[in-house]
């Protein structure tokens, strides 16, 4: 858009001499070429659609409605920070459409490609041909997937995202989609084969394709409808970074981001004990992710404070009802009438119900349990790697093994993080 108006301003054709016209014509061609190149990289998915032969009935009948009248709440977090519980709490907003980790399969596809030393990965869709993406354009893929999610254009999503079994494991709003779609999974496979062919005319294939589309579309319809009719679209992520979230603000100005952080020693200890800590570089990567996210969080705190809420897991564990009040203020939305009971059940549950779930006997105890098993040297390594973010978040280093294990020695200084961030020149 900017490029086009720029060219137009420079080329008031009527008032020009011939030589100027030629020069301007060349300028326009150059801009068109540049524009096409940029456009292709940025919106390759869109562009691809026009190359693929899809009959008009395959496309959505109306332009997707943006969820501009619904509240959008994204939780940006890290693994083992209580993000599942926070997501479940936000899911208690009446009429909310909630998705648990919708980028999970996408991240796995990318990770598999990297592991196999490939430079690209392929995504399959319900209603269009498989598409190949460069690993280097992953941020662009995330952006376009997020836009489809936030406009409730579920039919545009890679099919893995829709059929991820975690929707039913974590009971989000796509809970029963797999039940319906799995009946048509054979259809889905033959559809991919058909879509893979370049044939365009009135063939039996086209008719088959339409019939298959119809079955799957019927599965998807109630979910698209409930997303479009929701009071709030809520999603929780450990695979979306603040740099991705902030990019969505220009298209979704009402977007609200909850950035959930935790003491990295607690994060790493919990990841280790649940078998999720993968490589030796995991600590450095986690610290880097937290520090880079805080740069964008600070930017929003200074420039669009209504869009950002930073929450520390420890505050949440210690005073869940205070956090609830703050979430009400931040989102401007009311939770269900029994939300306090719901939180009480989840944070002081009669018994712990498993490593990956959210019911805990005593959430304060759970929040600091890492101190009883974390090795002192490892604690020191984490403190070093995360020194920059720890300094603004108030997580204090331990000076000895004894102080690490002594529950009377506080692991944190309660701090106004907004103030610390705004005054800290490292961010």
Ligand X SMILES: *[C@@H]1O[C@H](CO)[C@@H](O)[C@H](O)[C@H]1NC(C)=O
Tokens of 275: 């078998």
Tell me which residue has tokens 């420079």.
10
Which of 5, 202, 281, 377 binds ligand X (CB under 6 A)? It is 202
Q: What is the 3-state secondary structure (H, E, C) of 156-217?
A: HCEHHHHHCCHHHHCCCCCCCHHHHHHCCHHHHHHHHHHHHCCCCCCCHHHHHHHHHHHHHH
416 binds ligand X, rule: CB under 6 A = yes
Q: Which listed range, 53-61, 177-185, 320-328, 336-344, lies at the site for ligand X (CB under 6 A)?
A: 336-344
418 binds ligand X, rule: CB under 6 A = yes
Question: Phi and psi dihedrals of 19, rounded to 5?
Answer: -65, -40
Which of 34, 36, 210, 225 binds ligand X (CB under 6 A)? It is 225
193 binds ligand X, rule: CB under 6 A = yes
Residue placing its CB nearer to ligand X in the complex, 113 or 146? 113
Which of 274, 334, 341, 406 binds ligand X (CB under 6 A)? It is 341
Q: How many CB atoms neighbour CB 107 within 10 A?
A: 16
* Closest approach of ligand X to the CB of residue 77, in Å: 22
Which of 117, 119, 198, 199 binds ligand X (CB under 6 A)? It is 117
Question: Contact at 8 Å (CB) between 267 and 79?
Answer: yes
198 binds ligand X, rule: CB under 6 A = no
Which of 60, 95, 253, 332 binds ligand X (CB under 6 A)? It is 95
- Residue 310 CA to residue 350 CA, distance in Å, equals 29
Residue placing its CB nearer to ligand X in the complex, 317 or 385? 317
365 binds ligand X, rule: CB under 6 A = yes
In 3D space, the residue among 377, 391, 387, 142 whose CA is nearest the CA of residue 288 turns out to be: 387
Q: Which listed range, 235-243, 289-297, 377-385, 414-422, lies at the site for ligand X (CB under 6 A)?
A: 414-422
Q: Which listed range, 66-74, 242-250, 337-345, 370-378, lies at the site for ligand X (CB under 6 A)?
A: 337-345
Question: Phi and psi dihedrals of 205, rounded to 5?
Answer: -55, -45
Which of 348, 391, 403, 424 binds ligand X (CB under 6 A)? It is 348
- Residue 78 CA to residue 411 CA, distance in Å, equals 20
Which of 116, 250, 354, 425 binds ligand X (CB under 6 A)? It is 116
108 Cβ contact list (under 8 Å, min separation 6): none
- Residue 308 CA to residue 306 CA, distance in Å, equals 6
Question: Phi and psi dihedrals of 45, rounded to 5?
Answer: -65, -45
Which of 163, 190, 205, 364 binds ligand X (CB under 6 A)? It is 364
196 binds ligand X, rule: CB under 6 A = yes
List residues binding ligand X (CB under 6 A).
Answer: 95, 116-117, 130, 192-193, 196, 201-202, 225, 229, 338, 341-342, 345, 348, 362, 364-365, 416, 418-419, 422
């Amino acid at each position: 858009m900017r490029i086009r108006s720029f060219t137009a301003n420079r080329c008031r054709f009527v008032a020009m001499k011939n030589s100027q016209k030629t020069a301007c014509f060349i300028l326009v061609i150059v801009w068109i070429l540049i524009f096409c190149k940029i456009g292709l990289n940025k919106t390759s998915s869109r562009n691809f659609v026009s190359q693929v032969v899809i009959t008009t009935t395959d496309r959505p009948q109306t332009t997707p409605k943006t969820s501009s009248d619904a509240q959008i709440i994204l939780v940006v977090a890290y693994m083992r920070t209580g993000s599942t519980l926070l997501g479940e709490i936000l899911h208690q907003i009446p009429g909310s459409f909630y998705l648990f980790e919708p980028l999970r399969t996408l991240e796995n596809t990318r990770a598999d490609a990297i592991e196999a030393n490939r430079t690209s990965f392929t995504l399959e869709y319900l209603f269009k041909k498989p598409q190949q993406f460069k690993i280097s354009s992953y941020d662009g893929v995330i952006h376009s997937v997020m836009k489809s999610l936030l406009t409730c254009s579920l039919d545009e999503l890679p099919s893995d995202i829709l059929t991820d079994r975690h929707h039913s494991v974590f009971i989000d709003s796509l809970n029963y989609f797999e039940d319906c779609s799995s009946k048509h999974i054979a259809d889905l496979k033959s559809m991919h084969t058909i879509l893979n062919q370049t044939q365009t005319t009135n063939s039996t294939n086209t008719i088959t394709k339409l019939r298959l589309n119809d079955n799957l579309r019927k599965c998807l319809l109630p979910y698209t409808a409930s997303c479009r009719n929701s009071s709030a679209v809520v999603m929780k992520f450990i695979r979306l970074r603040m740099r991705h979230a902030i990019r969505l603000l220009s298209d979704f100005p009402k977007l609200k981001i909850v950035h959930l952080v935790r003491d990295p020693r607690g994060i790493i200890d919990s990841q280790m004990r649940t078998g999720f800590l993968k490589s030796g570089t995991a600590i450095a990567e986690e610290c880097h992710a937290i520090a880079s996210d805080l740069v964008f969080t600070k930017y929003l705190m200074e420039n669009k404070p209504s869009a950002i809420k930073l929450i520390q897991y420890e505050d949440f564990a210690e005073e869940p009802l205070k956090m609830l009040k703050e979430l009400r203020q931040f989102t401007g939305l009311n939770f269900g009438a029994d939300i306090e009971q719901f939180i009480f059940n989840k944070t002081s549950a009669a018994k712990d119900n498993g490593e990956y779930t959210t019911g805990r006997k005593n959430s304060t105890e759970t929040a600091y349990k890492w101190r009883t098993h974390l090795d002192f040297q490892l604690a020191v390594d984490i403190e070093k790697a995360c020194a920059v973010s720890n300094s603004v978040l108030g997580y204090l280093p331990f000076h000895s093994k004894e102080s690490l294990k002594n529950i009377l020695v506080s692991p944190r200084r309660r701090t106004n993080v907004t103030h610390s961030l705004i005054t800290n020149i490292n961010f």
